[in-house]
Amino acid sequence: MSFADLTRNAVHVHPEGALEQKLALGRPLRVKLGIDPTGPDIHVGFAVVLRRLAAFQRLGHIAVLIVGDYTARIGDPSGRSRERQVLPDDVLDRNAELFAEQAYRILDRERTEVRFNGEWLGKLDYAELVRLTRTGTVAQLLERDDFAQRFRGREPISVSELLYPFAQGYDSVAVQADVEVGGTDQLYNLLMGRDVMANYGLEPQAVITYELLVGTDGVEKMSKSQGNYVGIDEPPEEQFGKVMSIPDAALDQWWRLCLDAEPPRLESMKSKLALARGIVDLYNGSEAAGRAEAHFTRVVREGQAPEDVAEAGLPPDDPVHLPAVLADCFGLSTSEARRLIAQGAVKVDGEVVDELEVHRARLVGALVQAGKRRFVRFTS
RNA sequence: GCAGGGGUUCCCGAGUGGCCAAAGGGGGCGGGCUGUAAACCCGCUGGCUCAGCCUUCGGAGGUUCGAAUCCUCCCCCCUGCACCA
């Protein structure tokens, strides 16, 4: 563990030499990371930063995880082309809980402090808000690219969004952060934190941003709202498959950011398999990684049914109306099920079915497949 | 307050009386190909036991043989201007 481990995959370390200075203080540093509990899942992209935070912990420092239960009610405008939808309170609270739990898969519980920013933002009165917002000017706020674009494009920017960076900066004051880390998209907010701290007479935090991981689509940054993520808490088979679905062009970055490793000099297919194995291993262990790969080989590459197929019963009718049954088993609408049949995606014991009514005798005990990844065995 | 522009199917976005379950793109799904759920090509993409029927174009009414498209009222959003300070 070393300095290099703290700044691996970092894009900005600001200001120059600040991190070294903080480390030289010789006491455990308070390293802050904020999250908006907009969804319960931590994905491997967010884990890039979390794992750096864990590196700080290994050197004896304290991770201060700020759950933005209050700021989530504002909505972080970072990288946004429009206003965020605000979630109801109970959903946010629940997400926050699940989120913290998942974070401990990466962080050391003993060296982690979890704080909800409602603790102090909820008490912020108007006078205090005025003082806080005197930290910056409207021109400064509109300087940031996402706002500038929306402003130019005559898109709405709500005042509450404008307030967001101040609220985040106030978090740093409240927890006395020495360092704040985040994705590169957080640079503006993190730097504002420095100004806010100065405004409150505190030594400004050092700021580190880490490279953002692209999502499984290989284009957009990985995010919950895009649905292009691999969750650290997902089933191994799911994780493995999702990693295999990333475009080859994203391979190098995934190796570097997800596994802190140099991409191996292998053909892309082998490299991707190794990556998938590595990621599943990291979060679920080597045994699960082996299972997930076997599952992938069997189901995807060889087109066979998985080892353990879910079982289901049939309705008493004979013949059986297949669309309704498939819809029921796989959570589809009957129209979708019909389309799958029409497209030749439905097989009974390996044979394509093209009729909607099928005799019970043919289905009982049979393995039914709808598309490549949906299987069911009918027991009766 | 005034003026203008909007609210369309998962998303973006066309459509201004019938040919509209609604162009196009995205996403998703399916098929082909492939030692990848990569890439590429093709197809499908509201619901319903489905050659038919039902529901959908902010909401409620109305005109019409027929409305996403016309009228009335209402709700919501955006931009600009004004008012107040």
CATH number of the domain residue A337 falls in: 3.10.290.10
B/e letters for A358-377, b = 16+ CB within 10 Å, e = fewer, are: beeebbeebebbbeeebbbb
Residues sharing a CB contact under 8 Å with residue A70, sequence separation 6 or more, in sequence order: A116, A117, A118, A121, A122, A167
SS3 A375: strand
Residue A330 lies in a domain: yes
Same domain, A284 and A317: no
Nearest nucleotide (C1') to alpha carbon of A273: B36
Let me know whether A168 and A255 are in one domain.
no
- Summarised one tens digit per residue, pLDDT across range A23-71 is 999 899 999 999 877 667 789 999 999 999 999 999 999 999 998 877 7
Residue A226 has pLDDT above 60, yes or no: yes
Distance A156 CA to B6 C1' (A): 13
Residues A24 and A110 in one domain: yes
CA–chain centroid gap for A361, Å, is 46
pLDDT in the model for residue A70:
78
For residues A268 and A156, membership in a common domain is answered with no
Q: Is the CB of A162 under 7 A from strand B?
A: no
Our count of domains for chain A comes to 3
Q: What is the pLDDT of residue A169?
A: 94
pLDDT at residue A361 tops 80: yes
Task: Let me know if residue A285 belongs to a domain.
Answer: yes
Both A142 and A249 in one domain: the answer is no
In the prediction, which pLDDT does A1 show? Answer: 56
Residue A218 lies in a domain: no
Which of A195, A210, A225 delimits the end of a domain?
Answer: A210
Which DSSP symbol is given to A18?
H
Domain assignment present for residue A228? The answer is no
Domain range for A15 is: 3-210
**Residue at which a domain ends, from A274, A301, A328:** A301
Is A200 in the same domain as A284?
A: no
Å separating the CA of residue A9 from the C1' of nucleotide B50: 55
pLDDT value for A147: 78
CA distances A60 to A48, A55, A110, A177, Å, are 19, 9, 11, 15
Burial class (CB in 10 A: 0-12, 13-18, 19+), A114: middle
Is residue A65 within 8 A of residue A35, CB to CB? The reply is: yes
Rounded Cα distance between A69 and A89, Å, is: 8
Q: CA A196 to CA A172: how far, in whole Å?
A: 8
Mean pLDDT of chain A: 88
DSSP state of A81: S
Q: Which of residues 243-272 of A touch strand B (CB under 7 A)?
A: 244-249, 268-269, 272
Over residues A192-205, the mean pLDDT reads: 94
Asked if residue A223 belongs to a domain, the reply is no
Say if residues A373 and A299 touch (Cβ distance below 8 Å).
yes
Q: Which of A301, A325, A348 is the last residue of a domain?
A: A301
Span A203-223, average pLDDT? 92
Question: CA–C1' span, A221 to B10, in Å?
Answer: 20
Kindly state whether residue A225 falls inside one of the protein's structural domains: no
Residue A375 β-bridge partners: A369
The answer to whether residues A28 and A140 belong to one domain is yes
A22: CATH: 3.40.50.620
Global pTM value: 0.86
Residues A279-304: tens digit of each pLDDT: 999 999 999 999 999 999 998 888 88
Residue A343 corresponds to which tokens in the numbers above? 């497209």
Q: What is the dihedral of CA A126, A129, A133, A134, to 10 degrees?
A: 70
Q: Which bases along strand B come within 7 Å of a protein CB atom? A: 27-31, 35-39, 43-50, 77-80
Please tell me whether residues A273 and A334 are part of one structural domain: no
Residue position matching structure tokens 């909820």: A122
As a whole-number percent, the residues of chain A with pLDDT over 90 amount to 61
**Is it the case that residue A77 has pLDDT exceeding 60?**
no
A317 touches strand B (CB under 7 A): yes
Q: Does residue A93 fall inside a structural domain?
A: yes
- pLDDT tens digits along A138-191: 878 877 877 777 777 667 777 777 888 899 999 999 999 999 999 998 999 999
Residues A77 and A167 in one domain: yes
The answer to the question of residue A306 being in a domain is no
Residues A347 and A205 in one domain: no
**Rounded-to-integer distance, Cα A111 and Cα A122, Å:** 26
Angle at alpha carbon of residue A310, lines to A307 and A312, rounded to 5°: 145
Q: What percent of chain A has pLDDT over 70?
A: 92
Query: Which has the higher per-residue pLDDT, A213 or A86?
Result: A213
Looking at the fold, whether A284 and A332 belong to one and the same domain comes out as: no
Q: What pLDDT does residue A39 have?
A: 67
pLDDT at residue A227, as a whole number: 80
**Range in A2-11, A65-74, A201-210, A276-285 with the lowest mean pLDDT:** A65-74
Strand residues in chain A grouped as ranges (E): 10-14, 30-35, 62-67, 112-116, 179-183, 206-210, 311-312, 320-321, 346-348, 351-352, 357-358, 367-370, 374-378
Model confidence pLDDT, tens digit, residues A88-111: 566 667 777 788 888 999 999 999
pLDDT digits (tens, 9 = 90+) for A235-248: 999 999 999 999 99
A124 touches strand B (CB under 7 A): no
The CA distance from A282 to A42, in Å, is 14
Together in a domain, A190 and A336 = no
* Nucleotide with the nearest C1' to A243 CA: B37
